[in-house]
Chain A
Amino acid sequence: MTDGKDLQKVNEDMRKLLARAAFGRGNFEDLFVVPVFAVVAALVLGALIMLATGVDLPTIGRSFVALAVGSAGSLNAVSETLTAAIPLVLAGLGLGLGFRAGLFNIGAEGQLLLGGTAAVVFTFSFPSLPFPILMLFGLLTGALVGAAYASIAGILKATTGAHEVITTIMLNLISIRLLEYILRQPYIQREGRADPVSKSVPDAGQLPRLLDWLDPNLRLHAGVFLMLLAVAFVWWLLFRSKIGFAFRASGANPDAARYAGMRSGLVIVAAMATAGALAGLAGAAQVQGVLGRASPGFSAQMGFDAIALALLGRSHPVGILFAGILFGGLEAGGRQMQVDAGVSIDLISIIQALIIVFIAAPLLVRAIFPWGFRKITKGGKA
């Protein structure tokens, strides 16, 4: 059926795709200048918001000092930053992978909640298993449940064309109610509690703390290795494997990918499932490494922060790692800021939102900071 013109178009699209896969020097602005501008501009605007709400200048100064000290100023601060970064990076990797495949998965929050809960339930159901096995199986359960939950949206998109944004939003809302129900079941609810809180992860199911021999308060856990492994794995998957090429091809030009013989339905389901597995793993790492149990809303908006992270990291695994450490630092520093300067930690979410605005609208950054950029050649990428 394909005539010559189509084939030509396909060839052209494929060439564009290959050019995009390898970053050239021209991407320096997009990769470094825009993110740095975004972070600086967001911090400045954050200071202005503090001024507007009647915080005096010395306190603003102190809160920025606290933000810096609390995120990188001590061993404890670094430990907290990395601990906060672990689930964010894991979930962000999944979302970035989805973006590369042209899928907008808003459902990380729900996948994370259900994955984490499944990990808790699995670990306290088999308390007799020895340490590394129980821990690993717990993580695996979380990943599988996250993958299964995300696959619902993937399968619906592949078979009926239902838009994944709507289905994943709905799946998020469903997961919240489902969690409330699950956590009240006698088998799962902690004995003697009226509120929906699960039983605890047994010691053998926990991700071991790495630095507690230095100071028992250091919360950094083995999830940090999991995070690095996941970064490497996703990098390999996206840029060195056949299925990863199919992901990127479908994201860049679904028609071209289909003409080239890639099965779009399968790609969609596989990409969603992988993204869901990473989100579920994030949930499992959080409950097995930090929280020790599941409760309603234990995800604390991480699934949404991860969207920001994936955008900031340009959907590149290494970018997401750095973005995650930045966000983890903001999180840890924000807590310090609240204690030292009495400025509410909610300021951090404002700063995070502003960062994404500046990242996702490069035209806006160029409008605010006209210097530092070359002239836009054609239209600019929105």
Chain B
Amino acid sequence: MSAVTTDTSAEKIASAKARQARITGAVLIGLSLVVLFLLDVAAGQVATFKLSRPRDVWVAPDLVVPGAFNTVAAALLAFLGVRQFLRGGGRWTSLSLGIGIALVIVAFLVWATAGKSFSLSGMLQATMVRAVPIALGGLAGVLSERVAVVNIAIEGMLLAGAFTGALMGSLLGGWGGLVMAVLVGGMFGMMLAALVVTFRMDQIIAGVVINLFVLGLTSYVTSQVFAHNRHLNNAEIFRSWKIPILGDIPVIGPMLFNQNLFVYGALILVGVTTYYLFHTKGGLRARAVGEHPRAADTLGIDVYFTRYLHVTLAGMVAGFGGAWFTLGSVGRFDENMTGGRGFIGLAAMIFGRWHPVGALSAALIFGFADSLQQKLALLNTPIPSEFLAMAPYIATIIVVAGLIGRARPPAADGKPYVKE
């Protein structure tokens, strides 16, 4: 804490790093055993991944992976794990873990597809689509937690965006619905800011309350008004826009360049937010408010205004993400249709270590698990799909607990600030 203890805390950090490297090593070796014994593919079997559809402009050949890949993957994992034990630490820890997880996922796919064929490009396209609301929820979390406001209300903001998108989209058309969804999301963001900044309500309680309120209000209007007025809940949806040439590239084309507005919007927002937070004056000030509000205040930054602004922006991002549920897919609102996606967004934010790109990557992993879960039934694997659906949550707990790499929130996260 104080200057006297600096030496010991430096030692502590060093020993914690060594411990982390050892744990990572143990996990990698464990994964290697899993791949070797549980994901063992019979000799001679191959897994066929389809990279394009027959009618695509550029048809890529199918990717045929021999079953022996898994043995190689297990060996690589074991090598990475042992390496962690012998000379772990430093940035190699996260990198090895990243490579390790990627290897396990590929090995899993090879094992599940062995002797069958499987459309990889369709799967990746679905991954991207499913990742969008999670990524936008995570981005909303990043924006508000970077100014030290814990945002449990993302779920409610998504739901509000979905509801407004359906209602206003039916009345004003798709674009009008989208704009209103963003505005209503921002309104709930501002409401959260008012509750926690001005009225100094506990941030978690405020979030829980907004979730309950939005769920109650949208369910009430759905059963009270929409049930008798179907035309109010029938919005036109945004179809996918294929970007010429880029959209025809195998695998990447359908995933990134043949999607609807929401996918492009999410990718652009992640880029813009990253630039804003880490390369502009405003972003630096926002982060200062999140790390040490007293110091920021002393330097003349208006802490309250900064918090209001960013939590409102977070609400707008979540409102946009919410509109995906209605305007981006079915055009119709159903009670509680976000189904916990906001909480998964929160998990993505933590998993991505409070960084927009991290949140997007985590959202892609979660989206992948989600679409894989749908495909598992088709592939006839013995693993129950529910366990795969649980995997992202378990992974988040592991990250929060710091078992593999500590995720550090902004220093002032969750603490109200009272001006002196």
Residues of A within 8 A of B (CB): 49, 53-55, 104, 106, 156, 160-163, 165-167, 169-174, 176-178, 180-181, 304, 307-308, 311, 343-344, 346-354, 356-357, 360-361, 363-364, 367, 379-380, 382
Taking CB atoms, residues of chain B closer than 8 Å to A53 are 220-221, 224-225
Taking CB atoms, residues of chain B closer than 8 Å to A54 are 225
Taking CB atoms, residues of chain B closer than 8 Å to A174 are 390, 393-394
A169 touches B208 (CB 8 A): no
- The closest CB in chain A to the CB of B221 belongs to A53
A169 touches B343 (CB 8 A): yes
Given contact pairs A357-B213, A363-B198, enumerate 19 new A-B contacts (beta carbons under 8 Å): A53-B225, A54-B225, A156-B401, A160-B402, A162-B401, A166-B400, A170-B347, A170-B393, A177-B389, A181-B386, A304-B208, A307-B208, A346-B223, A349-B216, A350-B220, A352-B216, A360-B202, A360-B209, A367-B199
Taking CB atoms, residues of chain A closer than 8 Å to B208 are 106, 304, 307, 356
Q: Please, how many residues of chain B have a CB less than 8 angstroms from a CB on the other chain?
A: 48
B205 touches A173 (CB 8 A): no
A344 to chain B, nearest CB (A): 4
Taking CB atoms, residues of chain B closer than 8 Å to A347 are 216, 220, 224
B195 to chain A, nearest CB (A): 6
Taking CB atoms, residues of chain A closer than 8 Å to B390 are 173-174, 177-178
Taking CB atoms, residues of chain A closer than 8 Å to B400 are 156, 162-163, 166-167, 170
Q: Among A49, A173, A177, A361, point to the contact of B220 (Cβ < 8 A).
A: A49
A318 to B204, CA, bound (A): 24
Taking CB atoms, residues of chain A closer than 8 Å to B202 are 360, 382
Assuming the A-B contacts A174-B390, A174-B393, A343-B224, are A166 and B346 also in contact, with contact meaning beta carbons closer than 8 angstroms in the complex? yes
A180 to B397, CA, bound (A): 20
B152 touches A165 (CB 8 A): yes
Q: Among B204, B213, B384, point to the contact of A165 (Cβ < 8 A).
A: B204
Assuming the A-B contacts A174-B393, A357-B195, are A346 and B386 also in contact, with contact meaning beta carbons closer than 8 angstroms in the complex? no
Q: Residues 395-420 of chain B: 1 if any A CB is under 8 Å from the residue's CB, otherwise 0? A: 01100111100000000000010100
Is B201 an interface position by the 8 A CB rule? yes
Is B361 an interface position by the 8 A CB rule? no
Assuming the A-B contacts A160-B403, A166-B350, A352-B212, are A311 and B205 also in contact, with contact meaning beta carbons closer than 8 angstroms in the complex? yes
Q: List 11 interface pairs A-B (beta carbons < 8 Å), by A numbering.
A: A55-B224, A106-B208, A166-B347, A170-B347, A170-B394, A178-B390, A347-B220, A349-B215, A353-B210, A353-B216, A360-B206
Ordered nearest first, which 5 A-B pairs have the shortest CB separation? A349-B216, A382-B200, A353-B213, A346-B220, A350-B216
A344 touches B220 (CB 8 A): yes
- The closest CB in chain A to the CB of B198 belongs to A363
- The closest CB in chain B to the CB of A304 belongs to B212
Q: Among B201, B213, B223, point to the contact of A364 (Cβ < 8 A).
A: B201
A311 to B209, CA, bound (A): 11
Q: Among A104, A348, A382, point to the contact of B199 (Cβ < 8 A).
A: A382
A350 to B213, CA, bound (A): 5
A163 to B150, CA, bound (A): 12
A162 touches B217 (CB 8 A): no
Assuming the A-B contacts A165-B204, A311-B205, are A344 and B223 also in contact, with contact meaning beta carbons closer than 8 angstroms in the complex? yes
Residues of B within 8 A of A (CB): 150, 152, 195, 198-202, 204-206, 208-213, 215-217, 219-225, 340, 343-344, 346-347, 350, 384, 386-387, 389-390, 393-394, 396-397, 400-403, 416, 418
A106 to B208, CA, bound (A): 9
A341 to chain B, nearest CB (A): 11
- The closest CB in chain A to the CB of B205 belongs to A360
B393 touches A173 (CB 8 A): yes
- The closest CB in chain A to the CB of B217 belongs to A350
B200 touches A363 (CB 8 A): yes
A166 to B418, CA, bound (A): 25
Taking CB atoms, residues of chain B closer than 8 Å to A356 are 205, 208-209, 212
A373 to chain B, nearest CB (A): 15
B110 to chain A, nearest CB (A): 25
Taking CB atoms, residues of chain B closer than 8 Å to A163 are 400
A268 to B288, CA, bound (A): 32
A353 touches B209 (CB 8 A): yes
Taking CB atoms, residues of chain B closer than 8 Å to A178 are 386, 390
A142 to chain B, nearest CB (A): 22
Assuming the A-B contacts A49-B217, A53-B220, A344-B223, are A156 and B201 also in contact, with contact meaning beta carbons closer than 8 angstroms in the complex? no
- The closest CB in chain A to the CB of B347 belongs to A170
A166 to chain B, nearest CB (A): 5
Q: Among B217, B221, B386, B402, point to the contact of A180 (Cβ < 8 A).
A: B386
Taking CB atoms, residues of chain B closer than 8 Å to A382 are 199-202, 416
A381 to B156, CA, bound (A): 26
Q: Which one of B198, B224, B403 has the greatest number of beta carbons of chain A within 10 Å?
A: B224
- The closest CB in chain B to the CB of A152 belongs to B397
A352 to B217, CA, bound (A): 11
B343 touches A173 (CB 8 A): yes
B220 touches A360 (CB 8 A): no
A158 to B402, CA, bound (A): 13
Assuming the A-B contacts A53-B220, A160-B402, A382-B200, are A349 and B384 also in contact, with contact meaning beta carbons closer than 8 angstroms in the complex? no
A367 to B199, CA, bound (A): 9
A167 touches B216 (CB 8 A): no
